[in-house]
């Protein structure tokens, strides 16, 4: 249908300096620092409980929405800082799993469609069109209605909805690579198809795929946090940033920290990963130009 | 050209048909019996049987699918399992309310996005451009509910308290009778949608401004304003139309979170409620409705693309 494809030009040889090119950009550095901070909080946070705050994330610390402790208590009287420190890891893990699943499905489907062509190509791409006709969130909500709001459902459905978008980019990038002579040479030596795709095609489309990886990771974080915010992702009494926002937003005037902390964390995380993605896109584009 | 459009039209119809199958399969996967869910645990076997008969649950799946699909065309979306009322009745007002939200967001974000993108391209590398690019990069990364909460914190609860943070229209009155309640939801959607339009507009505009015919126009002494408005802008619009379409289509799904956040009485809020109650009939109807909007908007974008592409305009090429 109508996706603007900005990276249809492939990187035809593995650029040795892609990583260095990314790091050299100021944007990437800022992005790395921002995501680094949030990831660190999410990973180290749970280890600090209850030592740092005196409470675990589900323990009651007092009456609801009181100013006690460093950031006060939440809607059920639990310590907000404890819940905040404990609430990021699941989001990150789920987002990473969903992204990995989407990348795996999308890359395989896209490469097969490009390499095989013909009927398989049409089937895969038309299947994509059907999946793309439902907005990601609506698709996720449909699945959650049927299967219930559980972690694996969220990971599975976000991964699956990423796949057609990734497949499209992969197909565009791969179809430019497979006409190259070295692919034809491999074919003449009767190298198995999976080996050609894995050893010859895949290394040559890493640029667009890395951009896609960053983009999908940002979207996964947003989508999973949104579902939790709607009350349809992580379920209480789990400590989770999206869920925290949902639980505490009724008392935004009384005790804003329960909302502000997780909102800030999610904002810094997504902005950081978007900055990195942008730098990756720029780096892989300059590699293309310089070749 | 007409052939191309007709072909595109039939593809859209097929896609919608396949989506409807996908959505219908969801009912088959649902554990439990819808009739039992509607009547509760105390229902007598006789009543269950009667309701199953009434809901055509005893028919083969293919027949049920065709019945459901036929119903969609005449506005019969089935019966809500949660409320027992007709789904179509439940959604009537909400569709109008959501359309208002979407239309306002589109009416603001498209022209402003195009203007800001053009401005950014014209002042490439200068402070104004950096500011516009930086802000749109940040906004594009933020999830919609984060933007919404930030706006609520800023304008209605913590910093200033000037705007209402929830929509509350008394029953019988329409949401647009209270314009101040619309500001924050619309602003949220605008801020979510606009960055993509700005970025695409900037990119294509820069490309066009570097092209030969713009240089030619400048060299022959066409005033700069006319260069922009008559020569550059029309060429930059076509690729942007695609992005605009993607964003409008995104609005169909994106209103879900924003409506939930502001308790706006539209289809998005209804969808979240229906998912929470596991009210499959309503979820199905809304998923189809949103998919239809999504497909139609994409179709329109492609048709605009076909119509505005001079290579396809002559008709002789097909």
* Domain parsing of chain B, residue ranges: 2-73, 90-315
Of chain B, the percentage scoring pLDDT greater than 90 comes to 2
Q: Does domain A24-42+71-290 have CATH number 1.20.1630.10?
A: no
More confident residue, A253 or B228: B228
Q: Which of these, A101, A214, A130, A11, lies nearest to B23 by C-alpha position?
A: A130
* Domain parsing of chain A, residue ranges: 24-42+71-290
Q: Is the peptide bond before A19 cis (omega within 30 degrees of 0)?
A: no
* pLDDT tens digits, B225-244: 888 888 788 777 777 877 78
Q: Given this model, what pLDDT does residue A105 score?
A: 93
Q: Given this model, what pLDDT does residue A196 score?
A: 83
What is the arithmetic mean of pLDDT over B63-86?
Answer: 74
β-bridge partners, A60 = A78
**Residue A77 confidence (pLDDT) above 80:** no
**Residue B292 confidence (pLDDT) above 90:** no
Of B261, B290, B298, the CB nearest to A2: B298
**Residue B245 confidence (pLDDT) above 70:** yes
CB contact under 8 A, A4 and B200: yes
CB contact under 8 A, B260 and A147: no
* Shortest Cα distance, chain B CAs vs residue A78, angstroms: 22
Task: With H, G, I as helix, E, B as strand and everything else as coil, classify residue A60.
Answer: strand
Which chain B residues have a beta carbon less than 8 Å from that of A282? none
Q: Given this model, what pLDDT does residue A155 score?
A: 92
Structure tokens at B10: 């039939």
Q: Which of these, A247, A285, A273, lies nearest to A73 by C-alpha position?
A: A247
Q: Which of these, B206, B197, B261, lies nearest to B232 by C-alpha position?
A: B206
Q: Given this model, what pLDDT does residue B314 score?
A: 56
What is the arithmetic mean of pLDDT over B114-133?
Answer: 86
Tell me the average pLDDT of chain A: 82
* pLDDT tens digits, A32-50: 999 999 999 898 888 887 7
End-to-end CA distance of chain A: 31
Under 8 Å CB-to-CB from A148, ≥6 apart: which residues?
none
**Residue B316 confidence (pLDDT) above 50:** no
More confident residue, B310 or B112: B112
What is the arithmetic mean of pLDDT over A226-240?
Answer: 85
The separation between CA A91 and the C-alpha centre of its own chain, rounded to angstroms, equals 10
CA distance B17 to B305: 24
* pLDDT tens digits, A102-146: 999 999 998 888 888 888 888 888 888 888 888 888 888 888 888
Structure tokens at A263: 């909102």
Q: Given this model, what pLDDT does residue A9 score?
A: 47
Of A223, A259, A274, the CB nearest to B149: A259
CA distance A173 to A178: 9
Q: Given this model, what pLDDT does residue A39 score?
A: 92
CA distance A270 to A264: 10
- The answer to whether the CB of A206 falls within 8 A of the CB of A13 is no
At B311, is the pLDDT very low, low, confident or very high (cuts 50, 70, 90)? low
CB contact under 8 A, A138 and B253: yes
Of all residues in chain A, the one with the smallest CA distance to B286 is A138
**Residue B134 confidence (pLDDT) above 90:** no
At B55, is the pLDDT very low, low, confident or very high (cuts 50, 70, 90)? low
Q: Which residues of B173-202 are buried (b: 16+ CB within 10 A; e: fewer)?
A: eebeeeeebbbbbbbbbbbbbbbbbbbbbb
What is the arithmetic mean of pLDDT over B206-221?
Answer: 85
* Shortest Cα distance, chain A CAs vs residue B223, angstroms: 32
Which chain B residues have a beta carbon less than 8 Å from that of A135? 249-250, 252-254, 290-291, 294
Q: Given this model, what pLDDT does residue B303 score?
A: 80
pTM above 0.90, yes or no: no
At A211, is the pLDDT very low, low, confident or very high (cuts 50, 70, 90)? confident
CB contact under 8 A, A267 and B146: yes
- The answer to whether the CB of A242 falls within 8 A of the CB of A233 is yes
CATH class of the B90-315 domain in this structure = mainly alpha
Sign for the CA dihedral angle at A263, A265, A270, A274 comes to positive
At A3, is the pLDDT very low, low, confident or very high (cuts 50, 70, 90)? very low
Of chain A, the percentage scoring pLDDT greater than 90 comes to 17
Residue of B34, B145, B299 to mutate, testing the A interface (most A Cβ within 10 Å of its Cβ): B145
The separation between CA A229 and the C-alpha centre of its own chain, rounded to angstroms, equals 17
**Residue A166 confidence (pLDDT) above 70:** yes
What is the arithmetic mean of pLDDT over A212-227?
Answer: 90
Provide DSSP, A169-237. Answer: HHHHHHHHHTTSHHHHHHHHTT--HHHIIIIIIGGGGHHHHHHHHHHHHHHHHHHHHHHHHTTSSS-TT
Sign for the CA dihedral angle at B148, B154, B157, B163 comes to negative
Q: Given this model, what pLDDT does residue A13 score?
A: 52
Of A8-17, A35-44, A74-83, A179-188, which gets the smallest average pLDDT?
A: A8-17
Tell me the average pLDDT of chain B: 80
Q: What are the helix (H) ranges across A16-117?
A: 18-24, 26-48, 80-86, 89-116
Q: Kind and range of the H or E element at A265?
A: helix A257-290
Q: Given this model, what pLDDT does residue B171 score?
A: 61
Of chain B, the percentage scoring pLDDT greater than 70 comes to 84
CB contact under 8 A, A144 and B275: yes
Of all residues in chain A, the one with the smallest CA distance to B14 is A130
């Amino acid at each position: 249908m109508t996706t603007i494809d900005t990276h249809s030009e492939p990187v035809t040889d593995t650029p040795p300096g892609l990583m260095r090119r990314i790091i050299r950009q100021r944007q990437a550095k800022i992005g790395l620092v921002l995501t680094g901070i949030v990831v660190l909080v999410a990973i180290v946070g749970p280890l600090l409980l209850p030592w740092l705050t005196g409470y675990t994330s589900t323990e009651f610390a007092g009456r609801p929405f009181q100013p006690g402790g460093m950031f006060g208590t939440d809607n059920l009287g639990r310590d907000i800082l404890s819940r905040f420190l404990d609430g990021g890891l699941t989001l990150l893990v789920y987002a990473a799993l969903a992204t990995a699943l989407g990348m795996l499905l999308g890359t395989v489907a896209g490469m097969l469609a490009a390499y095989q062509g013909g009927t398989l190509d049409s089937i895969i791409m038309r299947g994509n069109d059907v999946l793309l006709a439902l907005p990601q969130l609506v698709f996720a909500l449909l699945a959650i209605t049927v299967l219930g709001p559980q972690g694996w459902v969220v990971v599975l459905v976000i991964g699956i909805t990423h796949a057609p978008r990734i497949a499209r980019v992969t197909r565009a990038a791969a179809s430019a690579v497979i006409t190259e002579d070295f692919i034809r040479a491999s074919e003449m030596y009767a190298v198995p198809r999976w080996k050609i795709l894995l050893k010859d095609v895949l290394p040559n489309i890493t640029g667009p795929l890395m951009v896609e990886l960053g983009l999908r990771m940002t979207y996964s974080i947003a989508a999973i946090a949104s579902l939790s915010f709607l009350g349809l992702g992580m379920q209480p009494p789990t400590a989770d940033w999206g869920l925290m926002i949902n639980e505490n937003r009724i008392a935004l005037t009384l005790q804003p920290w329960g909302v502000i902390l997780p909102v800030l964390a999610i904002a810094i995380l997504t902005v950081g990963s978007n900055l990195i993605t942008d730098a990756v896109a720029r780096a892989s584009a300059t590699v293309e130009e310089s070749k | 050209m007409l052939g191309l459009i007709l072909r595109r039209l039939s593809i859209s119809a097929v896609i919608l048909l396949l989506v409807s199958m996908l959505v219908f399969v969801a009912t088959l996967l649902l554990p439990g019996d819808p009739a039992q869910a509607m009547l509760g645990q105390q229902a007598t076997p006789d009543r269950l049987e009667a309701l199953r008969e009434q809901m055509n649950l005893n028919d083969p799946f293919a027949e049920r699918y065709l019945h459901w699909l036929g119903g969609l065309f005449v506005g019969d979306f089935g019966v809500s399992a949660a409320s027992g009322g007709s789904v179509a009745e439940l959604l009537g007002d909400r569709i109008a309310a959501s359309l208002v939200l979407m239309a306002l967001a589109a009416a603001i974000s498209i022209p402003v996005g195009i203007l800001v993108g053009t401005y950014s391209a014209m002042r490439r590398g200068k402070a104004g451009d950096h500011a516009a690019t930086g802000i749109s990069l940040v906004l594009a990364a933020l999830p919609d509910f984060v933007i919404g909460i930030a706006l609520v914190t800023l304008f209605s609860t913590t910093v200033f308290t000037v705007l209402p943070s929830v929509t509350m229209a008394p029953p019988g009155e329409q949401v647009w009778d209270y314009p101040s309640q619309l500001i924050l939801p619309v602003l949220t959607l605008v801020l979510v949608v606009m960055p993509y339009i700005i970025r695409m507009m900037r990119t294509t505009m820069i490309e066009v401004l570097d092209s030969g015919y713009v240089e030619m126009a400048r060299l022959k002494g066409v005033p700069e304003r006319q260069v922009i408005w008559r020569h550059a802008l029309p060429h930059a619009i076509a690729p942007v139309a695609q992005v605009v379409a993607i964003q409008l289509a995104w609005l169909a799904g994106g209103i879900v979170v924003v409506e939930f956040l502001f308790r706006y009485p539209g289809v998005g809020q209804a969808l979240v409620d229906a998912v929470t109650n596991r009210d499959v009939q309503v979820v199905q109807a809304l998923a189809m409705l949103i998919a239809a909007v999504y497909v139609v908007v994409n179709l329109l974008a492609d048709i605009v693309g076909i119509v505005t592409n001079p290579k396809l305009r002559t008709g002789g090429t097909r």
